[in-house]
Amino acid sequence: MNASSDNYNKILKPYASNNDNFLGRFYPEKISFYRSEYQRDRDRIIHCSSFRRLKHKTQVFVYHEGDHFRTRLTHSLEVSQISRSIARHMGLNEDLCEALSLAHDLGHTPFGHAGEDVLSECMSSFGNFDHNIQSLRILLLLENIYEDYIGLNLSINCLDGLLKHNGPVYDEKKILSLIPEIKKYNFDYKKFGSLEAQISSLSDDIAYNNHDIDDGLRANFFLIDDLREISILKDIISETYVEGSNKNNHKLVRKLIDFMVTDLIENSKNNLNVNKINSIDEIYNATQSIIAFSPKVAKLIKDIKNFLFIHMYKHKHIQQWSDKSRQIISKIFNYYLTNYEKIAKRFDNQYSRERNISDYISGMTDKYAIDLYNSIS
């Protein structure tokens, strides 16, 4: 590690991801003179083409429906901001949180979860499709810009955090079937990920719930008054709402993010104290996630998700594009099944034709997929 990294290491808590518990990279590299290992991970993610393509991938609204709606890229940036703020306050590794947050959605298909659903159906007889596993495929296999190795050669700690950011992995066979190469990393699938990985996961929940509220209000799918049916939101709206103001939406979302972040920090710090956590090994071997919302806020998030499911995700406008995305991705998948030679040169590997087609489609932007669909229809 370099001097800058050593100085940063001194301010971290003993249960943080730090120099002492850094696991290295599968392909050893020289230490950077001025960047920490997790800064290098972050930088490689930011500079890869898969990250750039998130700019034109759906969060909820398709890319051309408005310049102010979130895309998969802006969502990832917002997750990163929230996770860094939490990590800094808790004495955890901000750089690792940032890397994990920026990479967590790299595996998403065009057209968001609707696109994932149809691609998964197309792949149902060929090993299926999962966007979380696809993120790892991208980082380990598909991003191929270095001469000495395939993939980005991210740190073992970063890859472990991405693998387990939703908790221990209980379907090891599924991971190994989709990424056989991952076996050489010897991950302990049944253990929890780092606190930084846990923060990244829940920062994702905070970001998309709040920003889907913001985008839903902007699209006039529902009104602020409709949100009063959720008890805690009713109190926040009463506190922030000013009749006739054009700032009400922003005030609500800003207050709600702060409310959730504060709860997550306070409840997680209490969990650390109750469980007497003093090392990262105690995090890995814990019986439950240490980073967690209080029961009250966990229920609030569940209520918000239910509200958004009814008023936003099932809105007829969103459903129309979901139906269209099914047509687009199904058409493209079947087209390449019978015209595989058009993309075969892109893939020099041991994977099946269907898996390579899946990799190709999942990497497309909304715009590219729409244009391709129109050209082959």
Q: Which residue has the higher pLDDT, 65 or 268?
A: 268
Residue 18 has a pLDDT of: 93
- Band of residue 101 on the pLDDT scale cut at 50, 70, 90: very high
Mean pLDDT of 320-325: 93
Mean pLDDT of 132-149: 94
20-58 exposure pattern, b = at least 16 Cβ within 10 A, e = fewer: ebbeebbeeeeeeeebbbbbbbbbbbeebebbebbebbb
C-alpha–C-alpha distance, residues 310 and 303, integer Å: 11
C-alpha–C-alpha distance, residues 14 and 221, integer Å: 46
- Apex CA 235: angle with CA 229 and CA 240, to 5°? 115
- Band of residue 65 on the pLDDT scale cut at 50, 70, 90: confident
- Band of residue 303 on the pLDDT scale cut at 50, 70, 90: very high
In this prediction the pTM is: 0.95
Residue 19 has a pLDDT of: 86
What lies within 8 Å, CB to CB, of 61 at 6+ separation is: 69, 70, 215, 219, 318
- At 192-201, the pLDDT tens digits run 999 999 999 9
Residue 349 has a pLDDT of: 78
The residues pairing with 71 across neighbouring beta strands, listed in sequence order, are 58
- At 146-172, the pLDDT tens digits run 999 999 999 999 999 999 989 999 999
Residue 3 has a pLDDT of: 56
Minimal CA–CA distance to 83: which of 185, 215, 204? 204
- Band of residue 2 on the pLDDT scale cut at 50, 70, 90: low
- At 9-60, the pLDDT tens digits run 778 999 999 988 999 999 999 989 899 999 999 999 999 999 999 999 988 8
Domain ranges (residues) in the chain: 1-377
Q: Which residue has the higher pLDDT, 311 or 62?
A: 311
Do 162 and 197 contact (CB within 8 A), yes or no? yes
CA dihedral 351, 357, 361, 363 (to 10 degrees): 30
Q: What is the CATH architecture of 1-377?
A: Orthogonal Bundle (1.10)
Does the pLDDT at position 90 exceed 90?
Answer: yes
Do 142 and 48 contact (CB within 8 A), yes or no? no
Mean pLDDT of 130-152: 94
- At 340-375, the pLDDT tens digits run 999 988 887 789 999 999 999 999 999 999 999 999
Mean pLDDT of 196-224: 96
Report how far apart, in Å, the C-alpha atoms of 1 and of each of 111, 223, 249, 368 are.
41, 52, 45, 42
